[in-house]
Structure 1
Amino acid sequence: MTALDVVVAIVTYKSADLAVACIRSIEVERAASKLAISVVVVDNVSGDAAVIGQAIANNHWGSWVKLVVAPRNGGFAYGNNVAIGEAARMGPPRYCHLLNPDTELRSGAIDTLVSFLDQNATVGIAGSSFENLDGSDWPIAFRFPTLLSEVESGLQTGMVSGILSRWVVAQQMGKSAEPIDWVPGASMMVRWQVIEKIGGLDENYFLYFEETDFCRRSSQAGFQTWYVPASRVMHIAGQSTKVTERDAKIKRLPAYWFESRRRFFATTYGLSYAMATDLAALAAHGVGLLKRLLLGRGHEAVPYFIRDLWTYSVLRPGNRRAAIKDNVGIDSAAGNVRVSNG
């Protein structure tokens, strides 16, 4: 057994105050736990380092919190791979906990995930349940996206959604632990053997779909992913990107969301399937938009979604090569960024 049980990886971009509050919640967890827990904070060149470094010094966290300034802002996957590389040099630990800076642990959140994984050797990834800032529940985990889930998402009609319910991506979860395709990277505990077997996150995803892809590759390697609601984490969604803020006005999605979506479908299912998916999605979203306009609910549609989906679609020949370039992962033994095809 290594000296460290858990290394918590926090990637921050212009969220220093939130990251400090997150670390403070980990401090409380450490004090109540018998686990050896350390933290690696990666600043993705946002200017957060000075504020976080000062907080580490002022609170005497230096013995268990390490601050790393990334060489560049390579996105969420890249920043977490930097943290995973540091974790490898620190032990490595038994588990690596990916944790967003805009989260705060509730009592026993880390212990619960570790205990679950200790008792279930076939499970490689365990995710927490979430609560919003006001304390309300957000008990959601996810199925892998497919062509049929894209059709359901575009049409969003009661009859079609009922027929395609098996393929709806976002799932309302219950009060008991259960297997699921993927869990949010906002609180994802990863068994170190998963990283040794499949590498780190694919850095071709700047943001979004990287944890979906990681859970998929973990599943292909023989590891299960479970949702563990007894581990509870408060999450203020979308604080860095402003894309996934809950209850906010619907915004146009950034280019990197469409690029990540394109890569996931192309690398997961192949170019032919990805092209068929885009055709189906364009048609479904076109019908769905027309329905909303006729019902006077055009404001509920994501702005410019169909135009942007076409712009970044693999139906356009120039987008295909970018969609299937090599996965960039991490060599957990050396802690170096490298190519690691899943």
Structure 2
Amino acid sequence: MSNLIYAIVLNWNNAPDTIECIESLKKTGSIDFKILCVDNGSEDKSCGKIREAHPDIEFLETGANLGYAGGNNAGIKYAMEKGAGYFWILNNDTVADANALKPMIESLKGDSTAGAAGSVIMRYDNKHIIWFAGGIYDRKRGYTSHYLENRSIEEVKPATVPEKFDFVSGASFVVTRKAIEKTGYLDSGLFLFYEEIDYCFRLNKAGFKYLMCPGSIVYHKVSASLGDDSPLKLYYYTRNRLYISKKYFPRYFTLVLLWCIRWPLLPSFVKKRKRIPYVLAAFRDFFAGRRGALNERKKT
């Protein structure tokens, strides 16, 4: 397998974060790799700003917003045509530590059964606080949580990662060409959220391991793209939560469905009425088998 590595950074209407992310990648000097910025149909002229700030990297424009999976798939396909053997998928709202890449590549080269390796993710706004050190999927609720989330790095051993975990973070992980050729690309039908969970489950089914690399540190601006209170985020989260449960753990689907129904009935939720049409749209589209991007005109 080729040793060529591509770092793929997906931009959508967010030049400042993307520029800062790419700047951090250029300081990752312990291992050679190429940087590809994929512009995912931005409408704010951010692509031109990024080109001006970083004229020495490679660019790809999708021409439309293909979502997290679709945009990254476009980047992976581009890099595969260039002969890459490793693909570092990195959120544009992250800043990489100078040694972030090397531990992941070394782990993958040291284990022929591994198809992907992920970083430990720290909060950008408080770089001592862990945001992700391994993902946990609750099969009975369809809910995800992060190992050691909100714990101070000083409280735990730097090398601490769980022995068993369900997924790596989509904010920073490396996947091998071998894994992609056997498992396929990210599921573009999800569009946003749960893509890395789906991919890790598919890797496992195909016989690949996915690893956590405590020596790989990346700092994440949590929810920089949509915000914590975004109704659109709620739509994708609810729809895809149901989809993943039905696809991989159908025996628990009824329980997950009940949790998804109960959630919008909470008083704290009902007060924010703008959310309600998006939740209803999530249920409607899931049961209708509609995937991909939400058609805003049909959310009610």
Please report how far the alpha carbon of residue 275 of structure 1 lies from its aligned counterpart in structure 2 after TM superposition: 3.9
Q: For each residue in 1:167-225, what CA deviation from the matched residue of structure 2 results, as whole angstroms up to 9, or x when unmatched?
A: x7332276334442101111011122110111110011111011111111011111112
In structure 2, relative to structure 1, the CA distance for the partners of 1:124 and 1:100 (3 Å cut) is same
1:312 paired residue number: 282
2:145 paired residue number: 169
In structure 2, relative to structure 1, the CA distance for the partners of 1:170 and 1:303 (3 Å cut) is farther
The aligned runs of 1:159-238 (5 Å cut-off) are 169-172=145-148, 175-177=159-161, 178-238=163-223
1:279 paired residue number: 258
Matching residue's letter, 2:170: G
Q: Which has the larger radius of gyration?
A: 1
Q: For each residue in 1:42-70, what CA deviation from the matched residue of structure 2 results, as whole angstroms up to 9, or x when unmatched?
A: 1111132111111222xxx2xxx211111
TM-score under structure 2 normalisation? Answer: 0.82
2:297 paired residue number: none
Matching residue's letter, 1:41: C
2:248 paired residue number: 268
Give the secondary structure class of the aligned counterpart of 1:185: coil
Please report how far the alpha carbon of residue 79 of structure 1 lies from its aligned counterpart in structure 2 after TM superposition: 0.2
Aligned counterparts of 1:39 and 1:258: Cα–Cα separation in 2: 33
Of the candidates 66, 78, 101, which is equivalent to residue 74 of structure 1? 66
Instruction: Tell whether the 8 Å contact from 1:9 to 1:99 is kept in structure 2 after alignment.
Output: yes
Give the secondary structure class of the aligned counterpart of 1:125: strand
For structure 1, the 5+ residue unaligned runs are 154-167, 244-249, 328-342
Instruction: Tell whether the 8 Å contact from 1:99 to 1:188 is kept in structure 2 after alignment.
Output: yes
Aligned counterparts of 2:131 and 2:234: Cα–Cα separation in 1: 26
Please report how far the alpha carbon of residue 254 of structure 1 lies from its aligned counterpart in structure 2 after TM superposition: 3.5
1:322 paired residue number: 289
1:103 and 2:94 correspond: yes
Instruction: Tell whether the 8 Å contact from 1:40 to 1:86 is kept in structure 2 after alignment.
Output: no
Count of matched residue pairs: 277
Instruction: Tell whether the 8 Å contact from 2:25 to 2:98 is kept in structure 1 after alignment.
Output: no
Matching residue's letter, 1:83: G
1:85 paired residue number: 77
Of the candidates 116, 122, 143, which is equivalent to residue 125 of structure 1? 116
Give the secondary structure class of the aligned counterpart of 2:34: strand
1:142 and 2:135 correspond: yes
Matching residue's letter, 1:45: G
1:94 paired residue number: 85
Instruction: Tell whether the 8 Å contact from 1:142 to 1:170 is kept in structure 2 after alignment.
Output: yes
- Alignment RMSD (CA, Å): 2.7
Matching residue's letter, 1:312: A
**Percent identity over the alignment?**
25
2:18 paired residue number: 19
Aligned counterparts of 2:36 and 2:164: Cα–Cα separation in 1: 28
Aligned counterparts of 1:51 and 1:98: Cα–Cα separation in 2: 21
